[in-house]
Chains A and B, each alone.
Chain A
Amino acid sequence: MAEFRDQPKLESAILALKAAGIGADDMDIFSEEPVELRRGILDRPSSMSLVAVVGAIVVGGLATAGVYAAQHNYRLITGGMPIFSFWGTGVITYETTLLGSVLATFGWFLWESGLLRKRDKNVPIPTVLPGVMCLRVRCFDPHVTRARQILDTAGATDIALKEVA
C-alpha cells in the first residue's frame, strides 16, 4: 500500500505498474473524496445505464400488464370509459417505468460498488487522511519487490507491506 499526495505521481505509478504486468483488478485507490484520474488509466467499465434501462422496461411493462389483468379481472363499467386503455394507464406506465429504473440503479450500485458483495476479510483496508490517496496493489511474491521499486520511483510518500495468507 502506498500513499500519494499528488495526482500526476499516482497516475504515473499506476501506468508503470500496469506496464510491469499488474492488472487493473489488483489495484484499488482509497480516498476520502472521489479521485478523477485521466481516461484510460484505471477505468472501471460499468453497465449501470443498461441495467437502469432494462429495469425500467421490465417494471413498467409488468405494471401495465398487471393493470390490464386487474381491470379485466372483474369488468366494471365506469362512465363510458373503456375497461383498459393506454391513455388511462399511461401515468401508471410512466411512473412504474421510472420506479423500475430507480430500483435497478440502486440495486446495481450496491452490487457494482462491492458494498453488498462478500468481502475478503483478510484484505487490509487503509485508513486515509483527507487529501491523501492510497494505492493498494495486490501481487504475488516475485513481483512484490518490483512493485515496491515502481512505487518508490513514482514518488509515494509512505509505502507499507502487508502479508496476506
Chain B
Amino acid sequence: MAASAPELLPYAKIREDLFRPLSKGSSAYWTTVFGALSIVILGAVAWGIQVRDGMGVTGLNRPVFWGFYIVDFVFWIGISHAGTLISAILRLTDAGWRKPVTRAAEAITVFCLMIGGMFPIIHLGRSWLFYWLIPYPSERLLWPNFRSPLLWDLVAILTYVTGSVIYLYLPLIPDMAQLAEHNVPWRRKLYRILSLGWTGSDREWHALERAMKLMACIILAVAISVHTVVSWDFAMSIAPMWHSTIFGPYFVVGAIFSGIAALLLVLGILRRALGLELYLTKHHFNNLSKLLLLMSLLWFYFTFAEYQTVWYGNEPSEMAVFASKIRGPYAPFFWTMVVCNFVVPFILLGIRKLRTITTAMVSSVCVLTGMWLERYLIVAPTLGNPRMTSASGIYTPTWIEFAITAATFAGMIVLYLLFSKLFPIIAVWEFKPHPVEEE
C-alpha cells in the first residue's frame, strides 16, 4: 500500500479493517479460547485443592512464607502499567503515533489488574475470609488495620482498577455508538446501552476530551503510586535486602519495563492475527522498541545501584541474601534475569540493523521472563536467608503453584481474545478521515 500513515487511508477502509475482527471468529480463534479456558479451569481446580487441603499443598514453608503467588501478584500488577504509560503520557504530550496503540494498552491494564488482584486472595491461608480486609462494620467490632501495607495495597489497587476501567471506557463510548448501528441484534442492544445514547454532538466531544485530559493526568499519578505501594509490602518489612528505600522507584521502573514488553508482544500478535499491518506499522514498533530499550537501561541502573550498595555495605545478613543470589542456589535465575532483561534487549534493540518487529517481540518475551525472574529473586532468596541462620530454607514450588501461574497467563489470553471480539482494538474515532470525499 502506498499510504505510510494510517490516517491517510480512506475512511471506509479504516472502518472495514477495524470492525472486521468483531465478526464471527475463525476456528483458530475458538480453539485458542477453549484451549486457554481449559488451562484456567486446571488452575481453578488447583486452587480448589489448596483451599480444601490447606496451604501445605504448595511449596511454601518456614521461612519462605511467600512464593509464586506473591511473585505473580507483583508481576501482573507491574504489567498493568503498560496502558497508563503509553496512553496517558503520550496523550498528554500529544504524540500522534499513540493512536492505534492506546486502546490495546488500556485493555492490557484493566485485565492485568483483574488477574493480579486475584492473587491477594489466592495466597491467603484462609482465602474464604479475604473480605475481612475490606473496611465494613463487622461482627468482630474491629476495623482492619490501616497501618498495614496490605491495606494500602487494597486501596491503591481499588483506585487503579476504578481509574483504568473508566479510562478504558471513556474513549470506547463513541466507537460503541458507531457499532450500535450495524450489527447483530443482541450486540446492538449491548452497544447502545453501553454507549449511553452518544450522539456525537460537540458538547459531548468537548466533555469527553476534557475528561480524557484530566483522567490522563490522574491515572498517571495513580499508576506511579500503585506499584510503589506494592513495593512497600517488601520495603516496609525489616527482612534483609527488602528494607531498601530504592524499592519504590525500582518497582515502578520495572513495572513500566515489563508493561511495555507486554504491550509490544500483544501488539505484535494482534498485528498478525487481525491483519492490522497498515495501522501498527514499523514506525510504532520502532518507537516502542526504543522505549523498551530505554526502560531496560533504567532497570539496569536501578538493579546495579541496589546490588552495589548491598555489596559495599557488607552487612552480614544482607550479604547472605546477596551471595545466595549471585553465587548460591539462585545464581542460575539471577544471571538468566540479567541476560534476559539487559543483554538481549541491548543487543537486539540497541543495534539499529537488528531492530525489527520480530526481534522486538523476541526481546519482549525475554524481558517478560526476566522480569518474572526478577520478582522471584526479590521474594525467595530474602525469605530463605533470614537473620537467624538456623531458620534458613529453600523454596521448591509444587504443581499447584505452576498450575495457578499458568492459569493466569491463559486467563489473560481468554479475556483479551474476548475483548477484541466485542470491541475494536484500535480506536476508530481517533483517525480523522481524509478531508476530501472518498475515492
Interface residues of A (CB under 8 A from B): 5, 28-35, 37, 42, 44, 46, 48-49, 52, 63, 66-67, 70-71, 73-74, 76, 78, 81, 88-89, 91-92, 94-96, 98-99, 101-103, 105-106, 108-110, 112-116, 119, 125, 127-128, 130-131
Contacts and interface: CB of A to CB of B under 8 A. Distances in A.
A112 B429 CA distance: 20
Given A31-B205, A32-B200, A110-B196, A98 B143 contact: no
Contacts of B438: 131
Nearest to B143: A70
Contacts of B111: none
19 contacts: A5-B437, A31-B202, A32-B200, A32-B433, A34-B202, A34-B208, A76-B142, A91-B232, A92-B151, A95-B155, A95-B158, A98-B222, A102-B163, A102-B219, A105-B211, A113-B207, A114-B201, A115-B198, A131-B437
A141 B351 CA distance: 71
Given A96-B155, A114-B201, A114-B203, A48 B218 contact: no
Given A98-B222, A113-B204, A49 B429 contact: no
A151 B145 CA distance: 66
A20 to B, nearest CB: 20
Contacts of A112: 203, 207, 210
A112 B435 CA distance: 29
Contact of A113 (B181, B208, B432): B208
Nearest to B12: A130
Interface string B1-40: 0000000000100010000000000000000000000000
A46 B292 CA distance: 38
B214 interface: yes
B146 A89 contact: yes
Interface string B308-337: 000000000000000000000000000000
Contact of B205 (A34, A66, A70): A34
A92 B146 contact: yes
B201 A29 contact: yes
How many chain B residues sit at the interface, stated as a range, is 35 or more
Given A33-B430, A91-B156, A102 B202 contact: no
Interface in B173-205: 173-174, 178, 181, 196-205
Contacts of B203: 28, 44, 112-114
A131 B218 contact: no
Interface of B: 11, 15, 135, 141-147, 151-152, 155-156, 158-159, 162-163, 166, 170, 173-174, 178, 181, 196-211, 214-215, 218-219, 221-222, 225, 229, 232, 429-435, 437-438
Contact of B207 (A46, A91, A94, A119): A46
Nearest to A128: B200
A44 B206 contact: yes
B137 to A, nearest CB: 10
Nearest to B201: A28
Contacts, number: 161
A83 to B, nearest CB: 9
B159 A99 contact: yes
Which of A33, A73, A89 has most chain B Cβ within 10 Å? A33
A99 B200 contact: no
B437 to A, nearest CB: 8
Given A30-B199, A48-B210, 10 more contacts: A28-B201, A32-B200, A46-B207, A49-B210, A74-B142, A76-B145, A88-B146, A106-B211, A109-B211, A114-B203
A143 B151 CA distance: 63
A132 B400 CA distance: 58
B410 to A, nearest CB: 31
Contact of A102 (B15, B207, B215): B215
A34 B209 contact: yes
**8 nearest interchain CB pairs?**
A113-B207, A70-B143, A109-B211, A34-B205, A29-B202, A91-B152, A99-B159, A113-B204
A132 to B, nearest CB: 9
Nearest to A96: B155
Given A70-B135, A95-B156, A35 B202 contact: yes
A46 B146 contact: no
A32 B151 contact: no
Contacts of B209: 34
Contact of B225 (A32, A35, A49, A94): A94
Nearest to A51: B214
A113 B212 CA distance: 13
B199 A125 contact: yes
A119 B197 contact: yes
Contact of B221 (A81, A89, A98, A106): A98
B230 to A, nearest CB: 11
Contacts of B181: 127
Given A33-B429, A106-B211, A95 B202 contact: no
A35 B222 CA distance: 30
Contact of B200 (A31, A44, A66, A109): A31
A49 to B, nearest CB: 7
Contacts of B214: 48-49, 52, 101, 105
A98 B438 CA distance: 44
A116 B205 contact: no
